[in-house]
Chain A
């Protein structure tokens, strides 16, 4: 009936579209209609939730400071961080030594005075 007016060239989708974008729309948006073989609306929601959980748990774990996979050379290219961690540990140790030499500056000393 009506011919659409011009639409700019597609950006970022078509064959090369990001799968996350497609799933976000095709699984998650669009109108919800129960098919007559009692299909899947719930299942899709469950699946989406499952995907999210997997994804969210990565974040959650990081929040709690569990990020061992980032230091594992087999899992991460950022394994060089381990070297930085070692350096940091050295610095902390050094700091602790300095604080022992300057007792007036440490928390405990201030509290007890």
Chain B
């Protein structure tokens, strides 16, 4: 069989078979490569897309990247259902199976240690958005809670007064929003085993409305996940104008790196 080997994840051996119809990157079903008591989850990918040169240009193609990233995530997702995978970054490719075996041998110790640390744990993503962009100083008819109708100013002084009040309202709103995000992160990280703060996502890329104030990942044992989800749910309606988004369970991507 020709083609390169694409590696999705390293796992401990597991007994449950993967879904039969699961396809990976480039449409090839993932298979298990056992070596030194560890399992690499691999599939075949064509050289025309995944050799170094082509991959470089392929990565610039957002449609291709999207499909590939979703396929990669699809396999990791399926693994998360049956075991605790150690997810690799997109685009980890070897010439053949023996290359994968050498890689396992070289990193055996790290893999075992990390798998041990992550065993039975999943990652939850929590994001907090401030729903309404506060109005900038020049715009009348500001956000909710503003309390000011967009009345026409009758004099210059009125105009300044209104403008000052709007700015103060905005400042207060941001302070409240940040305080809420901070409290939530404190509560959740106290519950979770570990947490990571990621850079806030920009709406241009995520397409989400509102401004992203908190973008965090929490490492939670599977059996405590339900409790964690409830904890997030309970805080959802605490502050008006705030939106809390939960994603997961993910493989422990954010905690897979070296410490």
- The residue that B103 contacts in the complex, of A11, A36, A54, with Cβ under 8 A, is A36
Q: Residues of A contacting B103 with CB < 8 Å?
A: 33, 35-36
- Residue of chain A at shortest CB distance from B224: A5
Contact call B81/A4, Cβ cutoff below 8 A: yes
B210 to chain A, nearest CB (A): 14
> Cα distance A41–B91 when bound, in Å?
8
Q: Is A20 positioned at the interface, with any CB of B under 8 Å from its CB?
A: yes
Q: Which residues of A contact B12 (CB under 8 A)?
A: 1
Q: Is the Cβ of A26 less than 8 Å from the Cβ of B73?
A: yes
Residues of B close to A36: CB separation below 8 A = 94-95, 99, 102-103
A104 at the interface (CB under 8 A from B): no
Count of chain B residues with Cβ under 8 Å from any Cβ of A?
Answer: 80
Contacts A26-B73, A27-B69, A88-B138: A33 and B89 contacting too (C-beta < 8 A)? yes
Closest 10 CB pairs of A and B: A95-B156, A20-B206, A29-B253, A12-B247, A25-B253, A36-B99, A30-B87, A55-B202, A35-B93, A98-B156
Q: What number of A residues sit within 8 Å (CB to CB) of B?
A: 58
Known: A35-B93, A94-B156, A99-B156. A1 touches B205 (CB 8 A): no
* B222 & A4 in contact (Cβ 8 Å cutoff): yes
Judged by a CB distance under 8 angstroms, whether B30 is at the interface is no
Shortest CB distance A52–B (Å): 8
Any chain B CB within 8 A of the CB of A108?
Answer: no
Q: In the complex, what residue of chain B is closest to A46 when comparing beta carbons?
A: B59
**Which residues of chain A are within 8 angstroms of B119 by Cβ–Cβ distance?**
2
Q: Are B66 and A19 within 8 A (Cβ)?
A: yes
Query: CB-CB contacts of B15-58 with A at 8 A, as 1s and 0s?
Result: 11000000000000000000000000000000000011001100
